[in-house]
Structure 1
């Protein structure tokens, strides 16, 4: 198990066979381990003893406390096995971690002659017990475990099956599951060591202090290197930053020997020659930057193809002799100019000889030819992605500022000053800048999101959000009223959402001190789900929000919910795509889908995972990361409590039990399905919308007999139902492949949380 090359991280630790909610720890456990109670009344029967259960002498490495071993479970149906399972939890450093499962077993009943308890223990079919089966000892603690990590599965299932000779069903007292993590001691992959050493020698990188093993130990990884540490293989180089390192000469072929390389930055050096075609064979490469060198020739066609399908971000500006058309780089100016001379000479000669062609016609012919020439020169070219130009429609006006081709109103900076009364009242802050309260000429209240000079988010994020919101329209998406791109000033003008962010209502912050009713929460959840479903199904190509969280769900005066903050939005290249690859992971920790963190690949199911976390926050009123007492994701927190079969232990106590328990169960179950570790096991947003509508129906039936409960949340809906609008209308959206930085924008509410209860 734990040794010089690997350590163990606890996944879960359960004390079985107790309906009590008490947690066992020190002084019962001298090692101060925390044992959480777990019971499944519909599947397990509980047995217990008051007698002390002792540890076997050779079992000192486990030493399960007697208080834990005094309870156990057996299957309610004696012909069935004891069964429990978990899903793999990949990380950015290890997409397929291994697991150690430890079962603690003790016979608690003094068996009469002629009876026997004997069973097999298997994990995904792998036998852990002896071939003849395992028999626990009376009042002595035994363990069954796998000494070597089991890995390579998405789902792990443990079974305790009675043998043919057994007269009693299997028994289990407690269980611990650990994930295996690598530790220092395993050297970097030999091929990577050879390649990086050759690169160091070629460019004489003496000042970088590249000595010893490139990746081990972690604290002394070579400067500029990024390494992956997987249990199943040696550490390998996945990132290399040699920007501004004084590199001279051609691009070394040894870069292509780093087979797991994902990120390579060779910018701002003095490299010459061409980009090696072998770079096309680096299948893991997602980001390549060669900006600001003296490279020449054509970009390899393999890289151009990957660049166009979105699997590679390639930056190559400021290389004067590097061409990007994927073909010949030889200039054809003379040949084209001679053709133009012939084309022009013929009609001009005709004018002189016959004098029948009007001068205007000749001029038009010349203009058409010149336009044709311009189109020929730009055909099949690929623009550098490191330039400020975007795949969005914009041009430079005579006053020096960019003019987006949008139907929305364009404001000048002076107009925004008037709208916001000199940017007097701040109602929110984010990575882009501050958000100000404002009023248009007709009295319409708006929110003005102004980019600050210190913001690390720039033109690309601004253009992406503006262009997207100008093209997509849905009642559950915040509407864009206008924009400003006036010299260095950039701003977006949104509809005003008076009740601020859902996050503040659930936390009771600011003016949002009153608790949301369960029906209000259901309506907000349904609204948000419909907005997300529209992005996934109603847009062409489909869109991924990438930052779904409670602080990005805004509420108006009627508590209608709308998704906001589209700066991280990502579009599929086509409707037939299964995923989108990104250069890096962006979003908010605690909401990120595990496969996105591990593979940098986005799907619609990444948003579904984030929305599942939102649903859990709506049910519990808790933050997405809790300190209980150690930091814990809300998913684990809810799973541990629901495993005991008590939904009330996770429901927000501030609602005082005013809810239909079946609808709460259904929402919690939907949330946990959304947060399944395997993306294919998660529902679609269409499925989620249908489930939430059913939950609202259940709550509505309860509310019909409850005259004292607030049921109407909007003036247009006397029955208090949230409307479910289908998304048959398809919206065409174009989106840059630029990876945007995170933005956390909160709004301060100016009103109370919804109408008074009546």
Structure 2
């Protein structure tokens, strides 16, 4: 019933408050038969929880044809047989709009009819129409309990930030250092509070215990005193509580200790010298002073004994230079009684395997799972049937004893659900190997590139979940370890997936420890990493920082979004960063998205993820976010995607 008209000329907004894009206004429809009305029929499909107060209808018009002097286009508009008072006369290559204004009402069906006036020689025309659901502002305000709590925090600590209005609404004006979650069913909730290095003084306010939806609370590097409120353990959504770098004292409550032990809470309390971590009451000051004196004396004695033992050890080694770990093995591959079977000669609390054992559990290294710079990775099975992956160092590997021992020590000390767990290692003569948990779905690289046995294209929601989990693993290395660690080789091949497609960071042979007080960096004597993923600042300064990992993770995120490698040849060599920037500068987000995803995604979450990735890869280190910030922002992207899957989102317009 409609015919289309269009123009290639620019359509000016003429001060239109809606600022409709010219591309939208360059097309219009008009009736096929000039004598007919232009009819638009729309039936709303409101959600049960959305008790709309009515619908605001806005229609946009432009004259796309240069009319002769004897021609005129003028028409009336009626909505459900109620005629709007003034006729419409569109401007040539200009914009104008008409709305039902304050005459909003609810109805099951809306019939918009446009018909020519008596003086008009041309039929009606329309370029665009919008329907807005009107809802009560009280339904979208931040949860009242969260508002009361954050207002109390603001007053109590005299927070010097731009905290005004509603904390979470609108989304574009969320309070600084806060992250909120948004669902169509409920009011926005505060899920992350980052007040690190904010000059907070005094006790930890009881108001923090009122944030029932908070997942991340960072109060580190302030001047907080007093004890840690045990009531914080009742925040069931809280997964990370960072209180490090304060002046807190007293014992940690049994409830908080229990949650840290069962893995539901990551409690960081380092650099609080007066905190008791054993759950018992702290000793009085005088007693502590006496104990300190005794402790110093005892430590001095122990140090002397250790030095004597070390000297004796090297003396005996010089007498027997050919002695090594292999000579301590019996012919059957078991350890001698000298060391005790299963104990580590490196002093690590993990299982040590002999090379003969590795041959047995891998069935003589029958099935290769993958190959890297260190060597081949083989599938294995322990005595109890547990599947494992066995990484054997090849003779051609550039990784020496130092890198091998670094990875063994790191994997022994760190434990996080998004880091690959080590089961044991082998240092048997010239044979070196790592035995770690079996990740049945291989590397992220295999899924993205479409190569290998695990080449299954991942949907966008699954890719986002992998991004969040990988980011959480890196965040733990940067903030949860003491001292913190820089991975230095973050890439898609070092992100492994288990049977549930849960992501875990792997390959810690290049990791280095750094200290927060030393600008979070560690100097190296050579550049390590993978081309395309290496931070340019690290290449220039030879100083690896936590922001080096952030840069590499940004590349991983771009790979997840685009499905392309870090370095493209099209046919000229170009970095994935530049390739994405060129398209986003034109507003072409769909030109960035991996074509295999087939449009099954929320465009808001896709765009936001791409923007996060570009922030991670900016040249200036200070402008890059921390991994904590990245985790929070990616979680927002995942929330948007899950809302789409649950039917809570019907918009494909990016409003950021």
What TM-score, normalized to structure 1? Answer: 0.42
What TM-score, normalized to structure 2? Answer: 0.48
